[in-house]
Structure 1
């Protein structure tokens, strides 16, 4: 199950991987802590930092996001629109990530916590001998709000 992290938790995770919590990394991570459950692109993060009068450049944001995702602190996701988005990786490594529901009209991304593929993974292990360690599922469709706006 997912949990909430503090800046201290994230600093510890960086130090475990022999990296320092630089002021820039801390500022970037704070954006994610301030917007839990959001799937933010580098441009989103940079815009939020710029709005709060931060001097961190877009290139620094990109480097920070890439490093933090390589270290498993952030989870990098692709939703089929050519833009990488990130969120704090709150899952236990021995458990699966949540799934994403992506609206093809408004682009809203909703998280879905139920893991529907446990039986399929067991079937794959039994029949093929392949042990699935993790998976990502993305469902594309039209969210309730967009459906209502078309009907209304």
Structure 2
């Protein structure tokens, strides 16, 4: 499944005039491996520190910004001042993204809300604005995290990560 997702991303990048370099593919693999929680650029960088000599923190940030622009990933703010990233639904090119994000542990849960479509139509008719993409991140605490039952997740980094050959 991961190779299928990488193939879709490679095609999407090619269609927009970009290449899926080994560094970009490696970043995608980390994001796919950690798709259950938003991950920071620093967390991604730490996976590669000492393993890929040409992968600097600036490269990670530039790549994440490119992926955001291409709607491959989404930027979310889980903690004040800390941007984290999560994969978009690349197999379904629809643009609705609604999710609950726990501010204690970073866990996310995709949800479908039925009141967004009427709002979208109202924005279009009243403001003359056609929505092409949106993301609704609802920040808060899951019941299990509001008490002592929360076990804060930490991003686990794979002990060995190889750059895929594409």
Shift of the 96–143 alpha-carbon distance from structure 1 to 2, 3 Å rule, reads same
Q: Which residue of 1 aligns with 2:157?
A: none
1-side partners of 2:93 and 2:7: how far apart? 19
Shift of the 77–101 alpha-carbon distance from structure 1 to 2, 3 Å rule, reads closer
Q: Which residue of 1 aligns with 2:85?
A: 86
Q: Which residue of 1 aligns with 2:9?
A: 10
> Are positions 1:101 and 2:133 aligned together?
no
Cα pair 1:32 1:38 within 8 Å, conserved:
no
Shift of the 26–132 alpha-carbon distance from structure 1 to 2, 3 Å rule, reads closer
Shift of the 128–26 alpha-carbon distance from structure 1 to 2, 3 Å rule, reads closer
Give the TM-score of the pair, scaled to structure 1.
0.75
1-side partners of 2:62 and 2:95: how far apart? 28
Cα pair 2:96 2:133 within 8 Å, conserved:
yes
Instruction: List runs of 5+ in structure 2 lacking aligned partners.
Output: 150-166
Please state how far the C-alpha of 1:147 moved relative to its aligned partner.
2.5
Cα pair 1:96 1:115 within 8 Å, conserved:
no
Higher relative contact order (CA 8 A, sep 6+): 2
Instruction: List runs of 5+ in structure 1 lacking aligned partners.
Output: none
1-side partners of 2:68 and 2:129: how far apart? 26
Structure 1 residue matching 2:18: 3-state secondary structure: coil
Q: 1 or 2, which has the higher helix percentage? A: 1
Q: Which residue of 2 aligns with 1:140?
A: 139
Give the TM-score of the pair, scaled to structure 2.
0.70
Cα pair 1:25 1:64 within 8 Å, conserved:
yes
Q: Which residue of 1 aligns with 2:152?
A: none
Shift of the 67–127 alpha-carbon distance from structure 1 to 2, 3 Å rule, reads closer
